[in-house]
Amino acid sequence: MARPNSGFTLIELMIVVVIVAILATIALPSYNNYLRRGQLTEATNNLSAFRIQMEQYYQDNNNYGTAVCGAANPTPAVYFGYVCTLTDPQHYVMVAAGVTGRLTAGFIYTITEANVQATTAAPGCTPSMSTTAWITC
């Protein structure tokens, strides 16, 4: 009496591997985009919080400081590096630049004392720049 075969053939197994590979090629870029959008909020949140700190400093001192923009610095900084530049004691520009090696690399956001929000670089986004808004594609 012959025993019936059980299990998968090599062809069936290879078909499953191909299907999983196709699904992974479609899903991985979408997942990376999802992660990047979540990481971009660090910059927009920290820049907004920084602006509030700067306005509080301005109310106390009637200027934005002479060193490091009133010593206000956003924390924590995981996906972006932050630099504040004083053009004079009454004007500043805060820049958030994506950290190299992260999904946020290449993104650059700015904010000024007049609350002018701008995106000076947003790789892979359409549009890739905006002088009036933060792009979080």
Residue 112: the pLDDT is 92
Distance CA(128)–CA(115), nearest Å, equals 20
Furthest-apart CA pair in the chain: how many Å? 97
Torsion angle, CA of 46/51/132/126, rounded to 10 degrees? -10
Residues 76-130: tens digit of each pLDDT? 678 999 988 888 888 899 999 999 999 999 999 999 999 999 999 999 888 888 8
pTM beyond 0.75: yes
Average pLDDT over residues 37-49: 92
Helices (H), 3-137: 10-61, 68-71
How far separated are the first and last CA of the chain, in Å rounded?
65
